[in-house]
Chains A and B, each alone.
Chain A
Amino acid sequence: MGQYLPIFVLLVLAVLFGAGSFVASKLLAPRLPTSAKLGPYECGIEPSREPPRRFSVRFYLVAMIFIVFDVEVMFLFPFSTVVDEVGLFGLVAVLIFSVALFESFLYLLGNGALEWGPVVRKVIPGAVAPSRTAATTVRRVGTEGRGRVPAMARAADDGGAAA
């Protein structure tokens, strides 16, 4: 284990360096806490929502698929150091393992496990939704919290009268 001695010495030195920096900072820096400083950073306004506790499931999927590949890498390292000794037998074994892994990877990809982009909306050519009228196409989004927009209210009233 002698070969790890310098790494251990460096580890001790690095930790001491960090601890020393913190001590120096404690001695030198001012300490004037206010509630605004101690609150979470939110670009200058009071945070209105808690930080999210739930995340897109894709992050977890990535972590799981990563483990599969990490295991693969862990098998390939010992194989590559002794490739001359294990020869053709070893190569065939690694090929079988890799093909099995690649095939399951393809299955994952084919099921969209690693699709990150936004949902692609393809417009069917020539077809128009029956719900599409003058009242629905104007300001379809973003009216929430804006109150009743006069132009829209008139359009809705006209539409109601016609019906």
Chain B
Amino acid sequence: MSAPFAGSLLVGQTGDPLLFSVDAVAVGIVILKVLVIFALLLVATMFMVWFERKLISDMQNRIGPNLAGPFGILQTLADGIKFFFKEDVIPDKSQRKVFILAPYLAFVPAFLLFAVVPFGGDFNGGNDGMVTIFGRDTYLQLADPPIGVLFILAMSSLAVYGAMLAGWSSGSKYPLLGSVRASAQMVSYEAALGLSAAAVVLVTGTLSTHSMVTSQAGDGPWGVLPNWGILLTLGVPFVIFVIAGTAELNRPPFDLVEAEQELVGGFHTEYSSIRFALFFLAEFMNTITMSAIFVTLFLGGPSGPAFFGPGWMWGVIWFLAKVFIFLFMFVWFRATLPRMRYDQLMDLGWKVLIPLALGWFLVLASLEVADARQWNRWVVGAIAAVVLVGGAALLRKSVRSGAALRAEEVLD
């Protein structure tokens, strides 16, 4: 199968070759893959919780969990089992049905999000990341719909409903405040997230996550660097995406949703027992998946050189190594950075990240068209830079006049 690129939606079937014609064997393989991914995701989430606690302990000169299993690695399992034996309280003032529904809305999208992430396969020498399971060609990825990136954005928007409805249905003060904050924060950073993801779609020319990795697997600038999204988009969308992704996950330094000093536990204050456990699970699973999405969009996913043994294994190794960097980064953020104030959070999202992401997207689009028309790249780039600086000056001016409206003069 030739690599599906721009316009491939019209040209014939794209996506996982396993699913071109669905028969009993294909369904069996799909169920097997789903079960394996499901189990691995749960284990990875357990590991992530342990990893975060242990690493933060190290950074704070503490020991951390060290009793359950070697290095305390079974601590999360013990905590998880304990949740089953805890009393499940549904407050009197809650909206019962919505209260029960909300955890589902939080953790089901967290699972589904991982379905479009390619996590292995050999992308060297035209292999296209294909592996053979029971005589069928398939990708090491659950599903490869032609709208992969949109699916990612859709699922991360759905997670907003979980937080919003959980807080609203609790019938209590702090969860409600937490959920209003959460909704405003998550929709604010979603725009920046979408705009910077669009930049990657622009340079790779596809919405499918698998084709994105295929196009990033080739030789990059000057034949030495990898052809990764982070380089093709000139770095800025990557930084915006990481910041917006951290805010979307409600992780420190953007964890105002559950600022303990102000809001007790945020939107899940009233949740106990297994209902709380599912929110907790969703939070850490999203952390892992978001790291995997960073890797897919900007760092070439599982592509990388293969040395010995089966090629697909090297794909998995590269993928895990790249994801691990971001997991470490998230924990490091939490150990290092103080929480932002709410107005700073909103200012950063609306007045810096969104305009910058939009401007950068337009610059990249201009460069793309300039290349197609064989105009001088540098001249176009210089013009774009001037326009960008002009836009920034206008933005600054209107922010100032907006701030001046809110200032009032007082006598001492």
Interface residues, chain A, CB within 8 Å of chain B? 2-7, 9-11, 13-15, 17-18, 21-22, 24-26, 28-33, 37-43, 47, 49, 51-52, 55, 59, 62-63, 65-66, 69-70, 72-73, 76-77, 79-85, 87-88, 91, 94-95, 98, 102, 105-107, 109-124, 127-129, 132
Contacts and interface: CB of A to CB of B under 8 A. Distances in A.
A162 B198 CA distance: 73
Given A10-B142, A31-B88, 11 more contacts: A2-B20, A9-B34, A10-B115, A13-B35, A15-B104, A17-B38, A30-B85, A66-B188, A76-B195, A87-B373, A128-B411
A127 B410 CA distance: 9
Given A18-B278, A47-B173, A59-B184, A5 B27 contact: yes
Contacts of A6: 19, 30, 33-34, 115, 142-143
A87 B150 contact: no
Interface of B: 6-7, 9, 15-16, 19-22, 27, 30-31, 33-35, 37-38, 83-93, 103-104, 107-108, 111-112, 115-116, 142-146, 149-151, 170-174, 176-177, 180, 183-184, 187-188, 190-191, 194-195, 198-199, 201-202, 205-207, 264, 269-270, 273-275, 277-278, 342-343, 346-347, 350-351, 354-355, 358, 361-362, 365-366, 368-369, 372-373, 391, 394-395, 397-399, 401-403, 405-412
A119 B143 contact: no
B408 A122 contact: yes
A21 B176 contact: no
Nearest to A89: B369
B170 A40 contact: yes
B244 to A, nearest CB: 12
Given A109-B399, A111-B402, A88 B369 contact: yes
A79 B364 CA distance: 12
Given A29-B273, A66-B187, A113-B402, A14 B198 contact: no
B277 A38 contact: no
Contacts of B346: 62, 114, 116
Nearest to A4: B145
B88 A26 contact: yes
A52 B172 CA distance: 9
A107 B397 CA distance: 11
Nearest to B19: A2
Contact of A2 (B22, B115, B278, B361): B22
Contacts of B277: 21
Contacts of B274: 21-22, 24-25, 29
A63 B407 contact: no
B107 A18 contact: yes
Nearest to B146: A3
Given A25-B274, A102-B355, A129 B411 contact: yes
B89 A33 contact: yes
A39 B20 CA distance: 54
A72 B358 contact: yes
A18 B104 contact: yes
Contacts of A82: 6-7
Q: Which of A33, A59, A106, A128 has the most CB of B within 10 A?
A: A106
Contacts of A13: 34-35, 38, 111
A63 B173 contact: no
A98 B362 contact: yes
B410 A122 contact: yes
B402 A91 contact: no
Contacts of B108: 11, 14-15, 18
A59 B372 contact: no
Given A40-B173, A40-B270, A29 B202 contact: no
B174 A123 contact: no
B398 to A, nearest CB: 4
B38 A10 contact: yes
A122 B143 contact: no
Contact of A124 (B195, B278, B409): B409
Given A51-B171, A109-B395, A112-B403, A5 B88 contact: no
Q: Which of B27, B33, B198, B410 has the most CB of A within 10 A?
A: B198
